């Protein structure tokens, strides 16, 4: 028994924290993850025990300013944006890198202060798919990248550009026989003079699930030999636990941070113990991801990933837990214009909440959770729509529709066949305020969202039907809960949200 220990319980976070990249600096662990179209983006989380994580910072507020990132004229970056970050620390500087499919660019951000920033941005042309930075012992810097065909490119010593006349070549070919998704999601390390590259792959044969593979070589440019190091699903729908890298504890023990596709809630991170045999990493216990095990680290207090909010702020800056759907227009929201309220003002027209700017979101969490808000309607204009959304490609909303005569209806809406927002049920509503609630159930893959409204916050009424939530690659993110207000006719209307109350089931 370890005197000072933390019990790891997998998954460590039952929420969408995809493509985790973890490092240890002294006694502190830092993790970055993919954020796709959510802004600010590329969150930085902190832990001292690998189990309890606190959101500390984001790498950027926005990283491009164009029609797609701004949800202008029906354009968007769903399924694109920032992909598969690589977090590294070298000689006192933190490096975070990723590629973006919509820009065909490779981004490298740097800071001396990972918890507070600021981050310095550098852009390299060309897509470097699922990159991993490696700082070699001789001062040279490389990025490993690719899908199936894995390449290596050399960067300048400050990791801000491709090195002229540096190494830039095909490094290895991942398996092709019986493979659906070839090797990708690289995490690269040099340990005891040996190069280790970790990938995820998805075979069509055998267990037919995602698995973790390791390539190893004593020479940078190979040849590389490889092994399957983990092929386990933790008893959940044959979804493999894979894609991630290694991190050690101060006492020399090793762990892997990986993720598992977990239905509509998203891709959830897990910690796996790692041992070594003949200089090969051995993942798990008897080839399995343990549900619980101890790590020799002092347990720390858990910090919430998703929070309630009374919108009482001294300055016009939201809590870190909130992210906007795409780039916000900062002139059209405020928590200070009417103190104690979030005001969302319309500045653009849209045909659905999916294409509406300034939707404010947080993650959802399993096994179940609920979000409630109170919304004041006096500032709405004819054609406005406002409320709560369960956001993914197949979304569901509950809220107020103001028709062309400014008659108001409470409605539950979903995505129609042509992408427009369609009311499943709508009921005439007379009040000037309304309470709205969405209940999410992710237990055992049920993946249902239920929609409710109330005039007084006490007597609740179900509306529409339960939404069968589906994790779709069109968004490539788990369901988020969001507050929205958008115009279909005339801009300039507003709604005020008095609070957002969140509750997670244990």
The whole-angstrom separation of Cα 4 and Cα 294 is 10
Q: What pLDDT digit, counting tens, does each position of 18-33 carry?
A: 999 999 999 999 999 9
CB 214 within 8 Å of CB 229: yes
The whole-angstrom separation of Cα 351 and Cα 287 is 50
The whole-angstrom separation of Cα 421 and Cα 398 is 11
The whole-angstrom separation of Cα 372 and Cα 439 is 9
Residues 6+ apart with CB under 8 A from 437: 370, 371, 372, 373, 388, 398, 451, 452, 453, 454, 460
- The per-residue DSSP string of 434-488 comes to EEEEEEEE-GGG--EEEEEEESSSSS-EE-S--EE----TTT-S--EEEEEEEES
DSSP-assigned beta bridge partners for residue 422: 414
Name which of 26, 66, 61, 68 is nearest 47 in CA terms.
26
Is 255 in a helix, a strand, or coil?
Answer: strand
Strand pairing report for 38-39 and 323-325: antiparallel
Q: What pLDDT digit, counting tens, does each position of 441-451 carry?
A: 999 999 999 99
Q: What pLDDT digit, counting tens, does each position of 164-215 carry?
A: 999 999 999 999 999 999 999 999 999 999 999 999 999 999 999 999 999 9
Q: What pLDDT digit, counting tens, does each position of 34-69 carry?
A: 999 999 999 999 999 999 999 999 999 999 999 999
pLDDT surpasses 80 at 250: yes
Q: What pLDDT digit, counting tens, does each position of 483-504 carry?
A: 999 999 999 999 999 999 999 9
Domains belonging to the chain, first-starting first, are 6-295 (2.115.10.20), 323-505 (2.60.120.200)
How much is the pLDDT for 506? 78
How much is the pLDDT for 406? 77
Cβ neighbours of 477 (radius 10 Å): 27
CB 158 within 8 Å of CB 91: no
The whole-angstrom separation of Cα 336 and Cα 122 is 34
Name which of 203, 151, 152 is nearest 175 in CA terms.
203
CB 34 within 8 Å of CB 320: no
């Amino acid at each position: 028994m370890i005197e000072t220990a933390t019990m790891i319980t997998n998954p460590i976070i039952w929420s969408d924290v995809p493509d985790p990249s973890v490092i240890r600096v002294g006694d502190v662990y830092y993790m970055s993850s993919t954020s796709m179209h959510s802004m600010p983006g590329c969150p930085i989380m902190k832990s001292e025990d690998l189990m309890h994580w606190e959101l500390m910072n984001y790498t950027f507020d926005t990283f491009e300013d164009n029609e797609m990132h701004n949800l202008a004229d029906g354009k968007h970056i769903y399924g694109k944006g920032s992909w598969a970050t690589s977090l590294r620390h070298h000689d006192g500087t933190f490096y975070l890198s990723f590629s973006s499919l919509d820009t065909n660019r490779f981004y490298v951000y740097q800071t001396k202060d990972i918890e507070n920033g600021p981050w310095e941005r550098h852009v390299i042309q060309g897509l470097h798919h699922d990159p991993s930075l490696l700082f070699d012992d001789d001062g040279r810097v490389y990025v490993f990248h690719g899908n199936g065909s894995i390449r290596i490119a050399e960067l300048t010593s400050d990791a801000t550009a491709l090195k002229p006349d540096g190494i830039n070549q095909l490094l290895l070919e991942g398996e092709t026989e019986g493979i659906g998704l070839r090797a990708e999601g690289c995490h690269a390390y040099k340990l005891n003079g040996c190069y280790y590259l970790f990938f995820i792959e998805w075979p069509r044969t055998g267990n037919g699930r995602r698995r973790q593979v390791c390539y190893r070589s004593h020479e940078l440019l190979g040849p590389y030999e490889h092994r399957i190091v983990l092929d386990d699903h933790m008893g959940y729908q044959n979804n493999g636990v894979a894609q991630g890298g290694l991190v050690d504890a101060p006492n020399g023990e090793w762990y892997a941070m990986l993720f598992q596709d977990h239905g509509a809630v998203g891709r959830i991170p897990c910690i796996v113990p790692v041992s070594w045999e003949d200089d090969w990493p051995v993942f798990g216990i008897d080839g399995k991801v343990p549900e619980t095990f101890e790590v020799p680290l002092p347990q720390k207090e858990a910090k919430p990933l998703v929070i309630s909010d009374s919108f009482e702020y001294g300055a016009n800056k939201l809590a870190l837990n909130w992210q906007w759907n795409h780039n916000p227009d900062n002139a059209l929201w405020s928590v200070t214009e009417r103190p104690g309220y979030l005001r969302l003002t319309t500045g653009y027209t849209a045909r659905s909440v999916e294409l509406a700017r300034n939707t404010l979101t947080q993650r959802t969490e399993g096994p179940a959770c609920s979000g409630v808000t109170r919304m004041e309607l006096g500032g709405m204009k004819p054609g406005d729509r406002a409320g709560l959304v369960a956001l993914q490609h197949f979304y569901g909303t509950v809220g107020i529709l103001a028709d062309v005569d400014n008659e108001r209806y409470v409605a539950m809406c979903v995505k129609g066949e042509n992408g427009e927002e369609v009311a499943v049920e709508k009921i005439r509503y007379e009040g000037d305020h309304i309470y709205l609630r969405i209940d999410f159930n992710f237990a055992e893959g049920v993946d249902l969202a239920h929609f409710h409204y109330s005039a007084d916050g006490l007597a609740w009424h179900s509306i529409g039907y339960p939404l069968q939530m589906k994790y779709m690659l069109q968004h490539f993110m788990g369901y988020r809960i969001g507050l929205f207000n958008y115009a279909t006719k005339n801009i300039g209307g507003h709604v005020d949200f008095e609070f957002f109350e969140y509750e997670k089931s244990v």
